[in-house]
Chains A and B, each alone.
Chain A
Amino acid sequence: MQNKIIHWFKYGSPQSFYPLAGKMLPWFVVLAVAFGLAGLWLGFFVAPTDAVQGEGYRIIFIHVPASWMSMFLYLIMAFWAGLGLALNTRLSSMMASAVAPTGALMAFISLWTGALWGKPMWGTWWVWDARLTSELILLFLYLGFMALQAAIDEPRRADKAGAILALVGVVNVPIIYFSVKWWNTLHQGASVSMSKSPSMAVTMLWGMLVMALCFWMYSIAVALVRVRAIILERERTTEWVKHAVE
């Protein structure tokens, strides 16, 4: 048991994590592609045509997994940032910074696909329903985190300030979601809502789950690539980086 603990902390330093990340990377890329192909096949060929929405609804196979990932990645980002703040470890903070852009991308994809879904369904490019609005606010939270880290020159200060922001954000996300839901139900005009999804055929659900796995593998793969780049940049004055880059 003692050995195993030492093993984990061994990978806690940027220097030892760098090659490990490099080795894990191809696996996640392969998994992402595999799940992606499977999910798209399920979504576009296997799942039946919806009675009400026709073929257009198929965009939910991108939209819903992207939404899930955007929320999940925020929690992951806050977790790593908080760990970095509490334990004063550099690598945890680097992971948080690596995850953030992908989370923002997922939120952005969710919003875009939401709009693309909305237009044929309800005639408008945007609808202020609770979920889309919360998604928009989540995107702002991601952008705020990234902007704050970009604006602070000193890396350790950027890590810690970002961590505080991410933790404050995590506490606020349920509050924001609740208040937006409250706002939406009170102002309920038309009953257009993405939450009121058509009754799911089993294959539709499977399609979304597989696509979610695809996005998850993609996110991990991209985070690994990004964290390797961050490690190289932040540790550029150390000997091992100078050797690695040669």
Chain B
Amino acid sequence: MLTATDLACVRGDRRLFAGLGFTLESGGRLHVTGENGSGKTSLLRMLCGLSPAEAGEIRWQGETIANLGDAYRKAVLYLGHHNALKEELTALENLRTTAALAGVAVEALEGTDLLGRVGLAGREELPVRFLSQGQKRRVALSRLLWSPSPLWILDEPFVALDSAAVNWLADVVSQHLSRGGMAVLTSHQEVAITGGVAQTLRLTQ
């Protein structure tokens, strides 16, 4: 269970938001909406533990995420604007290294299979820089298939995806929620994710 209380965020001289709070239970999804620059990405990074909050606290299973440290990081999967891929490595190498850096061992065969599931069969051995934006995004999204983390924090995950991939991702998220996971996501597009208890958090200037 993820709870946020009284969160405030300051960027430079501007106060982006204050007094923000929510509770996210198992199987729940939180949609964060707001205009560009309203602090959506800042909030998500705060929930990851990357940025400290100006005020307020964030608790996971009752304990502050600052105290939990690595234990919290084990529970979180974050996909930001960057794909977090190394251009010189192949899609398969990227998948396996990303997993290894997160402490998860993915075998070559397993990795190939996962990449096949995101629609990159036959392209696993290509250096990522030869892939299109959409394809790179898919490699990044393959994380969702091997990660054991219950809390998914996704910043604009549908960007650069074609409609088939959008539906696929929506299904993956729904499956995750039905297995008891939770998700916090921002999205400019209206995407139908079924399943799970939905909440919306609107950030206004």
Contacts and interface: CB of A to CB of B under 8 A. Distances in A.
Q: A–B direct touch, CB within 8 Å, in complex? A: yes
Nearest to B13: A237
B12 interface: yes
A154 B52 CA distance: 14
Contacts of A236: 13
Interface residues of A, number: 4
B205 to A, nearest CB: 16
Contacts of B52: 88
Contacts of B13: 236-237
Interface in B3-54: 12-13, 52
A88 B54 CA distance: 11
A87 to B, nearest CB: 13
Nearest to B12: A154
Contacts of A88: 52
Nearest to A154: B12
A236 B12 CA distance: 12
Nearest to A237: B13
A237 B11 CA distance: 13
A133 B13 CA distance: 42
A242 to B, nearest CB: 13
B53 to A, nearest CB: 11
Interface in A76-105: 88
Nearest to A153: B12
- Which of A154, A236, A237: most chain B CB closer than 10 A? A237
A154 B12 CA distance: 7
Contacts of A237: 13
A155 B108 CA distance: 46
Nearest to A160: B52
Contacts of B12: 154
A85 to B, nearest CB: 12
Interface string A149-163: 000001000000000
A62 B72 CA distance: 56
A154 B10 CA distance: 11
A99 to B, nearest CB: 25
A236 B13 CA distance: 9
Nearest to B10: A156
A237 B12 CA distance: 10
A88 B55 CA distance: 12
A154 B13 CA distance: 10
Interface in A125-162: 154
A237 B10 CA distance: 12
Closest CB pairs A-B (n = 4): A237-B13, A154-B12, A236-B13, A88-B52
4 contacts: A88-B52, A154-B12, A236-B13, A237-B13
